[in-house]
Amino acid sequence: MDTAWIVPMLALCTLGAVCIFALISKERTEERKHDPFAPKSTLAKDGPQGGVAFLLPLDQRVNRNPNVEPVLE
């Protein structure tokens, strides 16, 4: 019995599964980007921490929101 077809078949199935997963993830990401009620990332410029500005020294931060709870504590 010739079993040389198993490796290419498994490779193609894996590649197909990864492509399907990527397409589904892309669609979900696009839907979330256009949802105005989705929570913003803490790294987003319009997020609760104001982007990566929390990495700057305190005197260089421009638009700090003191009512936001710390993320890393």
Per-domain residue ranges for the chain? Answer: 1-38, 39-73
For residue range 12-63, list pLDDT tens digits in order. 999 999 999 999 999 999 998 898 888 777 677 666 666 666 666 766 665 6
Instruction: Report the alpha-carbon distance of residue 24 to residue 55 in Å, rounded.
Output: 33
Q: What local confidence, expressed as pLDDT, does residue 48 receive? A: 65
pTM of the model: 0.53
Q: pLDDT tier at 64 (50, 70, 90 boundaries)?
A: low
The CA distances from residue 59 to 53, 62, 63, 73, in Å, are 11, 8, 11, 21
